[in-house]
Amino acid sequence: MGRKRDAGGATPATVAASRAGVAFTLHSYEHDPAAASWGEEAAQALGADPRRVLKTLVVSVDGEPAVAVVPVSSSLALKAVAAAAGGKRAELADPAAAERTTGYVLGGISPLGQRKRLRTVVDASAAGHETVFVSAGRRGLEIELSPADLIALTSAVTAPIAR
């Protein structure tokens, strides 16, 4: 896997990965605005195992924004992410607040290259794959990289936060 770009692929996420010298591959697909689940749409379009395609969820842990990264085939265990982030209570962030905090639109929120670095928790299952996919910063664009690079780039902790 090397640095592979397609036309118009530069986003804050890809810039962050490039600057860090991380090996990655960009994958683009035609996004359907009517898709019921953006993450499942990505997995199907890429022909990838949904356990390797990760969704980025912005949460509020004890009133502070944080990021949870879990497989699209799973849901987020709020108590588990709160504990992993060192808090007591977590809830999903308001969509407008998530966009404002990260600089990305819903369905295109990447854990990489966010406007402000947030505490990040990556589900422990990610480590079981050679590579994983996360949003590259817009709907219809995914970045494939190693779980170790994802964790390093986001300064994440790992914990079992998916159910």
pLDDT in tens, 81-103: 999 999 999 999 999 999 999 99
pLDDT in tens, 140-161: 999 999 999 999 999 999 999 9
Through-space distance between the first and last CA atoms of the chain, rounded to whole angstroms? 30
Q: In terms of Cα–Cα distance, which of 79, 74, 54, 88 is closest to 156?
A: 54
The residues pairing with 4 across neighbouring beta strands, listed in sequence order, are: 25
SS3 (DSSP) at 63: coil
Residues 6 or more apart in contact with residue 104 via CB below 8 angstroms: 12, 110, 114, 135, 137, 138
What pLDDT, on a 0 to 100 scale, did the predictor assign at position 127? 96
- Average per-residue pLDDT for the chain: 93
CA-CA distance, 55 to 3, in Å (whole number)? 22
